[in-house]
Structure 1
Amino acid sequence: MAATEPSDCDAKRVVFLTFDNVHLRRDNPNVPSDLEQMPHLLNFLQDNGTVSGTHFTPLISHTAQDIVTTLTGLYGDRFGWTVANSYGFFRNDGSVGFQSSFLYWTGASADGNAQMINEKGKIAPAPWVPFTRAGCDVGGFSTANIEFESIPADVNTVFGPNSPEGQEAATNRTLATADFEGIAIHCAQGASSVCNRGGNPKPDLLPDEPGGYVGFNALFGNANVAPAIVGSKVVLDMDGKPIADSHGNPGFPGFDPTETTLLLR
């Protein structure tokens, strides 16, 4: 993906769609592949671009590993974990623990170290940085590790456990999940038309980013993204219904959204 010039960001869009466990090729030559069983999607892709099967899947192939490899162009040994969606680690007493791979980009794993460290022992470069440096906003929804995935851990990483957001995560995890999980906008420096509308932007901290990353903000979670876009926490789907969790809290509906949720009004 190539970053656009700042003046082009309002006119051009790069849309990156991720389909979990959707295969282009046939596993069994006599059985249609996942995409062949969704002809409308396959025809749309073929009619509007190029469908390529020249890829090299990470091993072991799994959701977190594959998505982050696609976002970065790197295999897991260069962004912190070579096995997903969870991995084992040794505690100081010699026992083995397990850690989910689904954490925000700068999150710490259960052993206290940054999870997404590269071969230099630094947090791997974030995929949104080339775009925000070029003056473009980068939004993420239900995509691995570019927005919050673990409550309260990710809230504490970015906001701090003693912040109002951290206190909400500690006392009402269900509400905090709807408010803060799964949605984020990484903002262009200074010129962001979205982040400048409100929504309580916070510093987008990437302490190990090559070349530095100072003065950039982000909106984390529906509680901050939605007010900047529609003026309230309530966003309507294509059917005109409020997007909410299973408890009726407006916000992130989970990592398996419906078509009407993805196609916002």
Structure 2
Amino acid sequence: MRRFLSIDRRVLSGFLLLIVCSPHFCFANASVAFPDSSGTRVDSIASSAFPRFRFQPFLSILAPGFSHSGRLSVPNPFLNNPLFGLQAGVGLEIGYSRRMAARLELSYVRKGAREVFGQRTDRLEATTKLHYAQLNLMPLILKPEWKRFPVTAGFGVYGGCLLKMSHRYTVNHGAVFSNVLLSDNFRSMDFGWTLSLGYQGFRLPLELRFEAGFRPILPSHGLQTPLYNRVLALHLTI
């Protein structure tokens, strides 16, 4: 897995730089003022002008998991000893109109799962952590102007490049060992779709997102069933 480790620090440093610097490049409300014939200053770009472009750093808390059959299973964040993930990056939102927009996002994300097999006396716990550089494209975000309930809904796709991963087993809360052969079989790319539902009534907009991979990140071989990425995320725009 050394080919992932060699680029991990550089990619993470780039993401942090984007997050810190992006507010300074926000030009959603940019305008140029000049005097008219009467000497009054007039904005050359009206506040309602479209398209609008805005950079938005964001942070997400993830409840990741795996599907072994490709079905649309949703990870349960309330299980005992769950594995939580993290996503951080910056997005570019393009407003088509007051009610429609698109968004392009670049982020670092940690996915994976903690799965338990067997009973208390004969228990095997498998923990997998997957670190990705991910690109999200949401070509359609709807923003109905409901004053009492300002919600948004969006749909899109994502692609992720695996930077680093770890996979280990814990037997009866004691012995820990890793499976190198299984780790080498994980695919370096992951593709899937995203569905989001947001609420704009708070100072910092919130979104609830669900992501599902199109193809298994670990193909089936021997007794191993295929694994598909599934993510339930709470997305906070900063």
Note whether the superposition's TM-score is higher than 0.5.
no
Q: TM-score, normalised by structure 1?
A: 0.24
The structure with the largest alpha-carbon Rg is: 2
Whichever structure has more helix as a proportion of its residues is 1
**Using CA pairs below 8 Å that are at least 6 residues apart, which structure has the higher relative contact order?**
2
